[in-house]
């Protein structure tokens, strides 16, 4: 928040408010007295729960962002998207084939995509949504999984698609298929799972459960991890 407490004019559901400069949309909503029971989650840009539509006074162009990440701007008009039903196919992953034909069988409306690119323009993660939809049509599940990896399932792409498609659910299916069938097997992960199943870490877990909060914090800080660089 700015030190001089500069106030900016914003409009929430059409009602005028003045809020301190520097607030995010989410904190501005709360500053104005809105109790965020829905439409908020992790507050760190990961969960996708706070998808928000906004535009500006005398500028009708719609813009899209996450309320916990976007700072308020003068004359901003805010509307949070309520829940709306989006198509979600029901499937058993163990009985689902990792093929483009299988994806189309579960989401047949995918063929209606005419490449308008509205989904990409809407994505707050700036993902190339239209391109991984094209990859889906070509049956390239690996490429869909790679390009949609950072999807946070906010649903804005589906909310704006003129054909009623659900790119985020389609991409989730492809990531699941890729992880289950196509991703290279991780040897060290298999070894760790085998160790867990054999009880290799049972004694250590029992010790951790008996530690108080301070001991757990100390243990966490002393852990051996790989550097981030």
Give the chain's domains with CATH numbers.
7-80 (3.10.20.740), 93-182 (1.10.1060.10), 187-221 (no CATH)
Rounded-to-integer distance, Cα 39 and Cα 50, Å: 4
Q: What is the pLDDT of residues 140-177, one digit of tens each?
A: 999 999 999 999 998 889 988 999 999 999 999 999 99
Backbone phi, psi, residue 12, to 5°? -115, 120
pLDDT at 100 > cutoff 80: yes
Q: Is the dihedral of CA 46, 49, 50, 51 positive or negative?
A: positive
Which pLDDT does position 55 carry in this prediction?
Answer: 93
Q: Which segments within the chain are labelled E, that is strand?
A: 7-12, 15-20, 51-56, 59-66, 76-80
Q: Alpha helix locations (H) across 73-186? A: 100-106, 118-122, 129-137, 141-147, 156-160, 167-177
Q: Indicate the pLDDT class of residue 1, thresholds 50, 70 and 90.
A: very low
Which pLDDT does position 39 carry in this prediction?
Answer: 75
């Amino acid at each position: 928040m700015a030190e001089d407490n500069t106030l900016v004019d914003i409009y929430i559901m059409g009602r005028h408010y003045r809020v301190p400069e520097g607030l995010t949309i989410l904190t501005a909503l709360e500053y104005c007295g809105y109790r965020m029971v829905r439409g908020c989650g992790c507050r760190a840009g990961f969960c996708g729960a706070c998808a928000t539509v906004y535009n500006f006074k005398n500028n009708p162009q719609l813009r899209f962002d996450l309320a916990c990440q976007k700072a308020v701007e003068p004359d901003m008009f805010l509307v949070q998207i309520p829940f709306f039903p989006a198509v979600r196919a029901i499937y058993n992953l163990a009985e689902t084939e990792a093929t483009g034909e299988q994806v189309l069988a579960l989401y047949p409306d995918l063929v209606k995509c005419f490449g308008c690119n509205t989904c990409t323009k809407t994505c707050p993660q700036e993902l190339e949504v239209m391109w991984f939809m094209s990859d889906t049509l070509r049956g390239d599940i690996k490429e869909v999984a790679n390009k949609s990896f950072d999807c946070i399932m906010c649903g804005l792409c589906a909310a704006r698609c003129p054909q009623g498609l659900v790119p985020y659910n389609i991409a989730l299916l492809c990531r699941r298929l890729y992880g289950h069938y196509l991703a290279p097997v991780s040897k060290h992960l298999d070894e760790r799972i085998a160790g867990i199943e054999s009880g290799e870490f049972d004694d250590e877990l029992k010790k951790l459960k008996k530690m108080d909060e301070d001991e757990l914090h100390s243990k966490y800080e002393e852990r051996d991890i790989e550097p981030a660089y």
